[in-house]
Amino acid sequence: MNFKKGDKVKFLNENDYGTVTRVMENGIVMVLNSEDFEVPVKNSELILDPSAVKQTEKTEVNTKEVSAFVSKPSSVVEVSKPREADNYGIYLGFVPRDGKGSLQSDLDFFLINDSGFKVLYNLMRPTSGNLFSAQSGILEPDTKEYIQTFERENLNTLSSVKIQLLYSMDTPFSVKPPEEYDIKISAQKFFALNYYKTNDFFDEKSVIITVKESSLMKEAVEKLKVNDFQSFESKKTVNKKPQKASEKEIVDLHLMELLEDDRGMAPKEKLDYQMKVFKEKLEEYIKNPHVKKVIFIHGKGNGTLKTEIRRCLELNYRGYQYQDASFEEYGGGATLVYVK
């Protein structure tokens, strides 16, 4: 007789019964007996349990009768607690290739999934005007995927990335809605050595840009009401030592760091706005007794912003010395001003 996994059986040579767990190829059937031991038994020494067969037939008949009048109820799945309850994040990674050093190398572009989810992604990058080039795929949990390589001389063309995300799991999980993000990228920062950091995803120092991060603590804080948060703040101990102020401040004057959207602005309007921020920040740190020097990141570009900053310092701030900031850190794209 042919048996299958799950069949209820009785032993011919023993007063015992059990459930088939496995069917072997050599005529041996593995049976979980009444004492919860899995034992090998010859196929010929087993019969189907008659009482189990009758019960099965009776159940099938009842099911057919009920199904004629009652629709099947929707299945209820108990949601487990998978890794989604932990901290997780989606990141962009830019990694120097060929070991040439951060400021000389081309950059390999990766999409990183630091989560327990499978992530269906659609990654888009502007090519010209409003046109986008797209790449789609599935990121397995805790993996990173190579997207493309950007040549060093073409990094200035990298200004933004649009990414759409859809989460899933192989086990039951609470459904998350699709997400979409527009990530602005300051290409000039790729020419600054201090922009490359040690990280958990690559052996080399790399540029890691956060697309999405989530944690239980972060979500809990975001759900706090404003008055509850203020009440919590008022209960903090006031006798703490004041935190020592930084003697050096860094101001990034790239428009993408200053404005949400600079589309529609004329070149002169952009420059005027950058200079307005420069003067405001310089005046602020001149008045701050703790700050001794300020680094203004202006990038290399065509040199217009750098020239305007130097001209402003020569005309209006003659009492303050300035020089190029560290080339190793900023690649010639920043000016250091001594305000004390």
Q: Give, for all 340 residues of the chain, the pLDDT tens digit.
A: 788 888 888 888 777 888 988 888 778 888 888 877 788 888 888 888 776 655 555 544 454 443 433 333 333 333 334 454 456 789 999 998 876 566 778 889 999 999 888 999 999 887 765 667 788 999 999 899 999 888 888 877 778 889 999 999 888 877 888 999 998 887 777 877 778 888 888 888 888 999 988 754 455 545 554 455 455 455 444 444 444 556 899 999 988 888 877 777 888 999 999 999 999 999 999 999 999 999 999 988 778 999 999 999 999 999 999 999 988 888 888 999 999 8
In a domain, 243, yes or no: no
Encoded tokens for 165: 């995300």
* 25 and 109 co-located in one domain: no
Q: Under a CB-based contact definition with an 8 Å cutoff, are residues 8 and 34 in contact?
A: no
> H helices within 146-254, ranges in order?
216-223, 226-234
d(CA 182, CA 311): 36
In a domain, 74, yes or no: no
In a domain, 227, yes or no: no
* 290 and 212 co-located in one domain: no
d(CA 61, CA 240): 76
* 166 and 281 co-located in one domain: no
In a domain, 233, yes or no: no
* 53 and 124 co-located in one domain: no
* 129 and 206 co-located in one domain: yes
pLDDT at 86: 55
Q: What is the pTM of this model?
A: 0.46
Torsion sign (Cα): 73, 75, 78, 79: negative
* 109 and 57 co-located in one domain: no
* 201 and 90 co-located in one domain: yes
d(CA 293, CA 132): 42
* 135 and 174 co-located in one domain: yes
What CATH number has the domain bearing residue 140? 2.60.40.1600
* 61 and 92 co-located in one domain: no
Last residue of a domain, one of 216, 232, 260: 216
Last residue of a domain, one of 200, 216, 232: 216
State whether residue 294 is helix, strand or coil: strand
Q: Under a CB-based contact definition with an 8 Å cutoff, are residues 79 and 174 in contact?
A: yes
In a domain, 223, yes or no: no
> How would you classify residue 256: left for phi > 0, otherwise alpha for psi between -120 and 50, otherwise beta?
alpha
State whether residue 69 is helix, strand or coil: coil
CA distances from 98 to 110, 155, 204 (A): 16, 17, 11
d(CA 34, CA 6): 14
Q: For residue 14, what are the domain limits?
A: 8-67
d(CA 158, CA 232): 43
In a domain, 240, yes or no: no
* 188 and 91 co-located in one domain: yes
Residue type, 4: K
In a domain, 229, yes or no: no
Question: Number of structural domains, the chain?
Answer: 3
pLDDT at 257: 85
* 50 and 98 co-located in one domain: no
In a domain, 190, yes or no: yes
Last residue of a domain, one of 174, 196, 216: 216
* 196 and 100 co-located in one domain: yes
Total number of residues shown for the chain: 340
What CATH number has the domain bearing residue 13? 2.30.30
